[in-house]
Amino acid sequence: MITFTSFPKSKDSFSYTAAKFSAVDGNDMDVDVYGDDYGEDFDSGTKLTYPGESITSSYDYMRGHGTFIDQGNVISSVAGTIERVNKLVSVRAIRTRYNPEVGDLIVGRITEVQPRRWKVDANSRQDAVLMLSSINLPGGVQRRKLESDELQMRQFFEGGDLLVAEVQAFFADGAMSLHTRSLTYGKLRNGQLVCVPPILIRRLKSHFVSLPCNVDLILGLNGYIWVSKHIDQNRQPGEEGLDAESVYSNQNEAIDAPTRMAVSRVTNLIKVLASHFVPLSDVILLEAYEWAVENDVEVKDLTQPDICEGLIATVGTKG
Amino acid sequence: MGEGTRPSSPWEGCVTGIEVVSSSYHQTPPFPLSKYEKTYIQAALRELSPIRADGRSLFDYRSTALETGVASLANGSARVNIGKTAGEESGSGAEVIAAVKLEVEDVLEGEGVDGGRIVFTVSCSPAAYPHLSSTALDDLSYDTTIILNQCLSHPSLHPKNLTISPRRKSWSLNLDIMVLSDSGNVYDALFLAARSALWDAKVPKTRSVQYQPKSNILGDQDVEMSADGSGSIFNTREVAKAADFELADWWDEGEPLRVNREWPVCVTLNLVPAKSLLMYFADVTPHEEASMPLRLLLLFSFSPSGTRLRSMRLMGDGEVQLESMTLLLEGGENHAKKLFEALGKKLEEEDLRRNQKAQVKFDLR
């Protein structure tokens, strides 16, 4: 029922678990490419900076995002990991809004319907834009948009709807433009949303993850994760069957109780992992799910502190 | 609203223990939910064995943390958090902090009321509702204040020891509540915090002082005037009346508010829209809150003299049959009783903890 606990001592809240996981930096590909050619006078990617920390000399390096110059030094303005491309030094903040890049897969929520476009909340600094011309219109991929489509935009997406999309380009003001012109993108149904800090989502080969417990996951790079019932690939609508009914329907399918439990379990696991700052990937999630099933943990008990610790300890050692 | 000239804010000096709440990636209510998210949640609750998004059963509360004595300058204070995720530093859960501050008021000249008065103020922090404009936030704070006022300012709940000297001076009790973050079920947290802070509140002990003109010296007129300024020095009829008060120099902070400790607790019952059967559940997450059309606030107080329904309020745009109200009240009473008992136990533990802490501090001197 209800039991009251005490607040943790304030010093406990500073015991940051991030240090355990050196893989905090999501894309270590573009770091250290030229690592050995230049005299290394600072670490990149391994250590967390604190705001105000002097990183390097401004005479040798250029300042990037998250840094400023003071008295000939490049100084970090945020807590985060150092990234360097040639002479450009930037700091990627740990807690920040999502910084979009072209080609990223994101999960977003429609906030507004505007003439010929939707505004989408994607955990970024500005709302993203989804143009009517960059969605799959019913009746075939190649169909031109008509005036009637403009009038019935709410048949496709309305305020509050969740969708998975790809970042297509940027506008002049930095807002991102999305597109859903693929059969794998579009409206999300049959599940629930979890929000985690965007830095925890690592770039994967595929962000559509299927767990063996009949659960599908979409790991949006903006930190929104869609957890839903597994949909068989064969049953996905083909190009001919692309009608407004199936793609833009607002009806959930029938979902049985075990699947609902599995969805809840995965949701709780993601929350626990995110609260301990573990970067999420399909491997780690699968491992965590297996651990929860092996140890026969009830879904609601997953958020209890001692069980969290157990989970983090197991997943942390292997991962 | 009890703003105005406040001598010192009760929040002063309570920096310890309050973290900066940042809700950067927590979606906060009332964000729009899509139709199919709502139906997903509702359908899961209508299953034979209802399933909630986080696996809890219908009346499980999320982990609830409570602490009293968080504001050192207040006469009583409490902090409540419902639903903090373990390991997460800040910004999760519905967090509410409440403080009681007593002020001396003059009944004759000031705005004081004989027997003391209570002023409730709820302020919602912009960090808790980042999507709201400042006017909307003011409205929300005002609405919540009204609810608190209507529920707690009943004469039967008025503390009897707020008088300092009858018809002259009285205490004005200011209960300030701050909503630091909201992730569902904020009303339960609000009333838990209010009850805890009022339980924790101590009224300073006072002693009346009066002037006694020395009558044995002829022609001596006491040049001091009585502190309230009402009595003239030539007025000799009311010499025996207490004119002012002083704080009794006592090791204890004072005595608790004398209301038989009947401050109520609140349970919010969220009604699942269903055609035939009546279904409700407690302690909602923001997603659940957004998909339930109707909720019922029930405030119960339990004392040896009996159980009392202090207040009830139906919120939302759904409707409920009159026949089902009895069932709801019975169910609500059961759950409120459990909540009340658990809270009482926790409050006693907190008293014990703080007494021990005070003892250790005293021994160190």
Domain borders along chain B are: 35-207+244-364
Q: Does A29 touch chain B (CB under 8 A)?
A: no
Minimal CA separation from B100 to chain A, in Å: 20
pLDDT score for A220: 93
Query: Scanning every residue of chain A, which has its alpha carbon at the shortest distance from the alpha carbon of B336?
Result: A2
Assign 3-class secondary structure to chain A.
Answer: CCCEECCCCCCHHHCCHHHHCHHHCCCCCCCCCCCCCCCCCCCCCCCEECCCCEEEECCCCEECCCEEEECCEEEECCCEEEEEECCEEEEEECCCCECCCCCCEEEEEEEEEECCEEEEECCECCCEEEEEEEECCCCCCCCCCCHHHHHCHHHHCCCCCEEEEEEEEECCCCCEEEEECCCCCEECCCEEEEECCHHHECCCCCCEEEECCCEEEEECCCCEEEEEECCCHHHCCCCCCCCHHHHCCCCCCCCCHHHHHHHHHHHHHHHHHHHCCCCECHHHHHHHHHHHHHCCCCCHHHHCHHHHHHHHHHHHHHC
pLDDT (tens digit per residue) in B140-154? 999 999 999 888 888
Q: Does A15 touch chain B (CB under 8 A)?
A: no
pLDDT (tens digit per residue) in A239-256? 444 555 567 888 888 888
Arithmetic mean of pLDDT, A171-196: 89
pLDDT score for B204: 86
Arithmetic mean of pLDDT, B218-236: 47
Q: To probe the interface with A, which of B85, B181, B267 has the most A CB atoms within 10 Å?
A: B85
Query: Are A5 and B40 an interchain contact pair (Cβ–Cβ within 8 Å)?
Result: no
Between B186-200 and B134-152, two packed helices, what is the crossing angle to 10 degrees? 60
Give the range with max mean pLDDT: A30-39, A234-243, A245-254, B90-99.
Answer: B90-99
pLDDT score for A149: 83
Superfamily of domain B35-207+244-364 in CATH is GHMP Kinase, N-terminal domain (3.30.230.70)
pLDDT (tens digit per residue) in A287-308? 898 888 888 888 878 877 788 8
Compute the mean pLDDT over every residue in chain B, rounded to the nearest whole number: 79
From B22, B56, B90, residue closest to A300, measured CB to CB: B56
Confidence category of residue B87, pLDDT binned at 50, 70, 90:
low
Query: Scanning every residue of chain A, which has its alpha carbon at the shortest distance from the alpha carbon of B32?
Result: A160
Which residue's entry shows tokens 């000096």? B13
Query: What's the CATH code, domain A12-93?
Result: 2.40.50.100
Q: To probe the interface with B, which of A1, A2, A280 has the most B CB atoms within 10 Å?
A: A2
pLDDT score for A170: 94
Q: Could you give the count of Cα atoms lying within 13 Å of A43 in the half-sphere of its Cβ? A: 10
**CA gap A213, A282 in Å, rounded:** 13
Confidence category of residue B184, pLDDT binned at 50, 70, 90:
confident
A27: pLDDT strictly greater than 50: no
Q: Does A145 touch chain B (CB under 8 A)?
A: no
ipTM: 0.79
Query: Are B34 and A190 an interchain contact pair (Cβ–Cβ within 8 Å)?
Result: no
B7: pLDDT strictly greater than 50: no
Minimal CA separation from B361 to chain A, in Å: 18
pLDDT score for B19: 35
Between A282-294 and A305-318, two packed helices, what is the crossing angle to 10 degrees? 130
Boundaries of every domain in chain A: 12-93
